[in-house]
Amino acid sequence: MMGCLRFHRSKSVWAAVCVLVLCWLYIFPVYRMPNDKDIVEEVLHQGQTWTKNKTGIDLYRVRSALFPVLVQLQRDFILPWPYFVTILPMRLCDRHSAVEKLIKIMLQSLTPAAALVWEGMVLNRKLLTECCDPKRTFALTKENSQIGKVLWYDGELYHYHTVNNDTYPLFVQDIPFQMPLKKCVVVGNGGVLKNSRCGKVIDQADFVMRCNLPPLSKEYTDDVGRKTQLVTANPSIIEKSFQSLLWSRKAFVESMKAYGSSYIYMPAFSMKPGTDLSLRAYHALADSASNQTVLFANPDFLKNVGRFWKHHGVHGRRLSTGLFLVSLALGVCEEVTAFGFWPFALGLNQQPVSHHYYDNVLPSSRFHAMPEEFLQLWHLHKSGTLRLHLGTCA
């Protein structure tokens, strides 16, 4: 009799555990990265339609706007639910993400569109509040990095640089943009831009950001435009294309003329070998009386943006330059459109597409997780926070 009772009791315990596990998996499903074909199909299915979600964009800029909404949603949706659905999962894991996921599930059962907007809002709020404060911190300035400040390299474990009499004078006085910038475009280097004829549209933006000193010669401008207000320069480019500026600076200074009077954004304090290369690039431009301004990326900003996206499922060792720039743009611009982000071998017409619009040198998959990054950009596109332009501009 006792044995039978124990058997029944253990059976119901197991049943309860199973129900709990199923609930858990429903709320926190195991993540599976869709393959390239699924992504192409989803993009084709959604098409190029896009509805701007002003709230989503504003939330990057107006911190206070979201909190009343969040509090209201929590009050209306979370509190009336029983303890084991709301508080328990929160106790067991990160409280905020549990609340956010629950709200999303509830919204999803009401209207999928609302769930999407919610997801975008959550991403935005986190980017703004938990993370990075791009407006004040994206570049090293005399205001935010005084002599003696220790800069920990964001791409190294134990290296740091203490701002000193040699480096401090190279920093701009303060963040030089007139913020908020109005319409911004971030141009990735993806092969989707080839034959896109998007140059005109890109050049109509108020502020254009580009990655890694990309070629802007005549053969490409119809597709990618010419206008550049900010361009990043990986120190590796100085090393590989300009022999570390050890012999001649002329070719470098000449090639930089393609970017007009733009800001040159360099991650000088990300990897140790990049520091000297970046400082050399700075001096080469300064000595040639160039009208360009070198901005050194703030390693704390890069680290925080990297952490933020890691929490959202981007697992590469390092974010790609493009995602750093998009994160920056969302913090400093009223409207953001991204071109040239398509890290897949097949285009939207299901035909092979080269990796870059100018060559087919593939990225190092040891460092970056570009397809995962693309999914995040796609989420932001779907939630109306930024516009991801993938097709042609005919």
Ligand X SMILES: CC(=O)N[C@H]1[C@H]([C@H](O)[C@H](O)CO)O[C@](OP(=O)(O)OC[C@H]2O[C@@H](n3ccc(N)nc3=O)[C@H](O)[C@@H]2O)(C(=O)O)C[C@@H]1O
CA-CA distance, 254 to 234, in Å (whole number)? 18
Task: Please report whether residue 346 would count as binding ligand X according to CB under 6 A.
Answer: no
Residue where the block lists tokens 């009223």: 334
Residue 368 annotated among the catalytic residues of the structure: yes
User: Could you give the angle at the alpha carbon of 56 between the alpha carbons of 54 and 57, nearest 5°?
Assistant: 65
CA-CA distance, 186 to 225, in Å (whole number)? 12
Smallest separation (angstroms) from ligand X to the CB of 371: 9
How many angstroms separate the Cα of 98 from the Cα of each of 24, 32, 312, 364? 11, 19, 13, 34
Query: Which residues neighbour 303 within 8 Å (Cβ) at sequence distance 6 or greater?
Result: 152, 154
CA-CA distance, 93 to 96, in Å (whole number)? 9
CB atoms within 10 A of CB 210: 29
Answer for which of 111, 146, 162, 236 binds ligand X (CB under 6 A) is 236
Task: Please report whether residue 358 would count as binding ligand X according to CB under 6 A.
Answer: no
Task: Please report whether residue 23 would count as binding ligand X according to CB under 6 A.
Answer: no
Write down the catalytic residue from 356, 368, 381, 389.
368
Task: Please report whether residue 230 would count as binding ligand X according to CB under 6 A.
Answer: no
Residue where the block lists tokens 């053969």: 219
Smallest separation (angstroms) from ligand X to the CB of 367: 6
Contact 245, 277 (CB under 8 A): yes
Contact 319, 309 (CB under 8 A): yes
Smallest separation (angstroms) from ligand X to the CB of 179: 23
Task: Please report whether residue 349 would count as binding ligand X according to CB under 6 A.
Answer: no
Question: Strands across the sheet with 293-296, in order?
Answer: 293-296, 263-266, 230-232, 207-210, 181-187, 333-339, 387-389
Task: Please report whether residue 364 would count as binding ligand X according to CB under 6 A.
Answer: yes
Site string for ligand X, 164-193 (x = CB under 6 A): ------------------------xxxx--
Task: Please report whether residue 210 would count as binding ligand X according to CB under 6 A.
Answer: no
Task: Please report whether residue 144 would count as binding ligand X according to CB under 6 A.
Answer: no
Answer for which of 368, 381, 387, 389 binds ligand X (CB under 6 A) is 368
Task: Please report whether residue 355 would count as binding ligand X according to CB under 6 A.
Answer: yes
Smallest separation (angstroms) from ligand X to the CB of 245: 16
Task: Please report whether residue 363 would count as binding ligand X according to CB under 6 A.
Answer: yes
Smallest separation (angstroms) from ligand X to the CB of 92: 35
* Residues 310-329 close enough to bind ligand X by CB under 6 A: 320-323
Residues that bind ligand X in the complex, under the rule CB under 6 A: 188-191, 211-212, 234, 236-237, 320-323, 341-343, 355-356, 361, 363-364, 368, 370
> Which residues belong to the active site?
368
